[in-house]
Structure 1
Amino acid sequence: MLRSLYSGVSGMRGFQTKLDVIGNNIANVNTIGFKSGRVMFKDILSQTVSGVSAPDDVRGGVNAQQVGLGVSVAAIDTVHTAGSAMTTNVVTDLRVNGDGFFAVGTAEQADTPFLTRAGNFTLDPNRNLVNSEGLHVMGADGAGPIVIPEDIVSFSISQNGDIIGVNANGETIATGQKVGVVKVINPAGLEKIGGNLYQMTANANPAGEITVGAAGDPATGTGTLISGQLEMSNVDLTGEFTEMIIAQRGFQANSRIITTSDEVLQEVVNLKH
């Protein structure tokens, strides 16, 4: 059988995966904190028709003759560039201005929380700061879930995550609560688990360690927190539609390779006539 037939099949499979990723990006264009994905290709091991010969005193060297066997997906990367800011003026809406992720989870998950860039938080009836799935927002320095004290009439969140309250007498008081931020060395190594959440892996941080630290810490390089804003998706529709056209044409070109290879094989079969 012709090698080009299998090369065309591998190309169609690769571009189908690329279209799947593009479709997911476009579907999440308005998802808070969503990070777009991209597909990178690599060539498959080539078949060597003739090897390399070194030059000598009589004649020069000869390069190898190799025929490629198609393409495969090298990586599906998550692009962690910052999304644009959306102002909501809701105190519990938070945006990380820089590097870092919010840590969320159940009360028993304080040591192994999930990570997210979606800061659309609210207060539950027990005055816990939670996300839209009811997961607790973790405080800095291993403080556990954040609970807003009952004696507070109103509160605000500073850029370093401190929750500052105002009591019934109009006095400003320190609540002792601080929204934590997790620094991730290789954000692309995080595993998406749905619900705007990421799971830590050994390829994101050494040994998969999670340290919930303070926002705006120069020692760790974490970003500051902006209250009253949310981070939008970083999907660029112009770029996605351009990549869609490229993927569509690539798929069509590879299907043409299969059609042409089939016509050649048909000619071979017809030789007996």
Structure 2
Amino acid sequence: MLRSLYAGVSAMKANQVKLDVIGNNIANVGTTAFKSSRVRFQDMVSQSMSDASAPATNQGGVNPKQVGLGVQVAGIDTMVGQGMMQPTSRNLDVAMDGEGYLIVATGPIIGEITVTAGHDMVASTDVTKTLTSSYTRDGALTLDHEGHLLTSDGFRVMGYSNQTSYDSTGIPTVSFIGANDAAVADTILLKPLSIPDKVGTAKVKSFSIEKDGTIKAILDNEKVAIIGQIAMASFNNPAGLSKSGKNLYTQTSNSGEPVVRSGIKDAADNSKAYGNMLSGMLEMSNVDLAEQFTDMIVTTRAFQAAGKTITTGDEILQEIIGLKR
């Protein structure tokens, strides 16, 4: 059988995968904080018809004679470059101007994650406080009727909190810490964040999210209180994160462990490596439509050319069969 037939089949399969990836990129051109992907190809093993030989006294060297057996997908890379910032004028929308990811989780409202001195995350050993964490750059946050800070899919937003306790319905009690005081009460535990109706005995009139992630509330007694600070995580290899849908990422063996941004006035401050959290903005998709459509044209032509290789091989086989009348 002709090798060109199998080479053509491998090319069609590889280019089909690339078309799938391009189609997914175009479909998510309007997805908040979406990171586009690209496909890389590599040649398959080559069949040697003859090996190389070194120069001799009466004859020069000869190069190897090899016939390639097709192409295969070398990798599908996530392009982690930052997308454009889109103003929304909504105080619960935040965009990460840097390499950080929001830490979100599912589990009980009293759940917690310990942050070590090296800014690593350690899950709670208490089953009643165990949370399952994921990561996202989609900062379109919401509040439920109890004031819990959530993503649009209901995942709890984690951070350093001044919440001291919860009542039977899960509504937190928040201790008052002024904007010029020592800052967030607990910079060792990550907890699900909430924006309550009251801080102490004072009612919350409005709130804002600052560049460092702190949530400040203006109270009806004209004082400003810090409710908590939204946590951020970074990875040595963010392209190694696994996309799990709903704009979420999960840690893999090749992404590295998450490194948590330090809290306000933490002695081991590492916050400068994370950039700012921009309130009233959302990060848009980093898909470049012009690039995607150009790649689509090239990939389509490559797919058609591979198909032509197969039909040409079929014609040759038909001619060989026709030699016997």
Give the TM-score band, short-chain normalised: over 0.9
User: Which residue of structure 2 aligns with residue 121 of structure 1?
Assistant: 141
The amino acid that maps onto 1:143 is L
- Which stretch of the first structure deviates more once superposed, 220-229 or 74-83? 220-229
Matching of residues 177-216 of structure 1 within 5 Å: 177-205=228-256, 209-214=257-262
Alpha carbons of 1:219 and 1:123: their partners in 2 closer, same or farther (altered >3 Å)?
closer
- Runs of 4+ in structure 1 off by over 6 angstroms are none
User: Which residue of structure 2 aligns with residue 73 of structure 1?
Assistant: 73
Give unpaired runs (5+ residues) of structure 1. Answer: none
User: Which residue of structure 2 aligns with residue 229 of structure 1?
Assistant: 281
Whether the aligned pair in 1 keeps the contact of 2:229 and 2:263 (CA below 8 Å) is no
- Which stretch of the first structure deviates more once superposed, 2-11 or 110-119? 110-119
Alpha carbons of 1:261 and 1:60: their partners in 2 closer, same or farther (altered >3 Å)?
same
The CA distance in 1 between the partners of 2:151 and 2:263, in whole Å, is: 18
1:218, distance to aligned residue in structure 2 (A): 4.6
The CA distance in 2 between the partners of 1:81 and 1:232, in whole Å, is: 11
The CA distance in 2 between the partners of 1:57 and 1:97, in whole Å, is: 67
User: Which residue of structure 2 aligns with residue 101 of structure 1?
Assistant: 101
Whether the aligned pair in 2 keeps the contact of 1:215 and 1:225 (CA below 8 Å) is no
The CA distance in 2 between the partners of 1:214 and 1:43, in whole Å, is: 46
User: Which residue of structure 2 aligns with residue 34 of structure 1?
Assistant: 34
1:248, distance to aligned residue in structure 2 (A): 0.4
Alignment deviations for residues 14-64 of structure 1 (CA, whole Å, 9 cap, x no partner): 111111011111111100011111110000000000001112333221111
Alpha carbons of 1:149 and 1:211: their partners in 2 closer, same or farther (altered >3 Å)?
farther
- 1:168 equivalent in alignment to 2:220: yes
Percent same amino acid among aligned pairs? Answer: 47
Whether the aligned pair in 2 keeps the contact of 1:214 and 1:222 (CA below 8 Å) is no
- 1:146 equivalent in alignment to 2:193: yes
1:211, distance to aligned residue in structure 2 (A): 3.7
* Secondary structure of residue in 1 paired with 2:192: coil
Aligned CA-pair RMSD = 1.7
User: Which residue of structure 2 aligns with residue 155 of structure 1?
Assistant: 207
The CA distance in 2 between the partners of 1:190 and 1:36, in whole Å, is: 13
The CA distance in 1 between the partners of 2:270 and 2:158, in whole Å, is: 20
Alpha carbons of 1:84 and 1:214: their partners in 2 closer, same or farther (altered >3 Å)?
farther
Whether the aligned pair in 2 keeps the contact of 1:92 and 1:120 (CA below 8 Å) is yes
The CA distance in 2 between the partners of 1:132 and 1:29, in whole Å, is: 19
Whether the aligned pair in 2 keeps the contact of 1:138 and 1:144 (CA below 8 Å) is yes
The CA distance in 1 between the partners of 2:159 and 2:270, in whole Å, is: 18
Whether the aligned pair in 1 keeps the contact of 2:5 and 2:310 (CA below 8 Å) is yes
Alpha carbons of 1:31 and 1:122: their partners in 2 closer, same or farther (altered >3 Å)?
same
Alpha carbons of 1:63 and 1:220: their partners in 2 closer, same or farther (altered >3 Å)?
farther
The CA distance in 1 between the partners of 2:153 and 2:104, in whole Å, is: 10
The CA distance in 2 between the partners of 1:107 and 1:126, in whole Å, is: 16
The CA distance in 1 between the partners of 2:233 and 2:13, in whole Å, is: 37
Give unpaired runs (5+ residues) of structure 2. Answer: 114-122, 124-131, 161-186, 199-203
- Which stretch of the first structure deviates more once superposed, 95-104 or 165-174? 165-174
The amino acid that maps onto 2:195 is I
Alpha carbons of 1:78 and 1:218: their partners in 2 closer, same or farther (altered >3 Å)?
same
Whether the aligned pair in 2 keeps the contact of 1:215 and 1:222 (CA below 8 Å) is no
The amino acid that maps onto 1:144 is K
The amino acid that maps onto 2:63 is N
- Which has more helix, going by share of residues? 1
* Secondary structure of residue in 2 paired with 1:253: helix
1:150, distance to aligned residue in structure 2 (A): 2.4
The CA distance in 2 between the partners of 1:159 and 1:74, in whole Å, is: 40
User: Which residue of structure 2 aligns with residue 45 of structure 1?
Assistant: 45
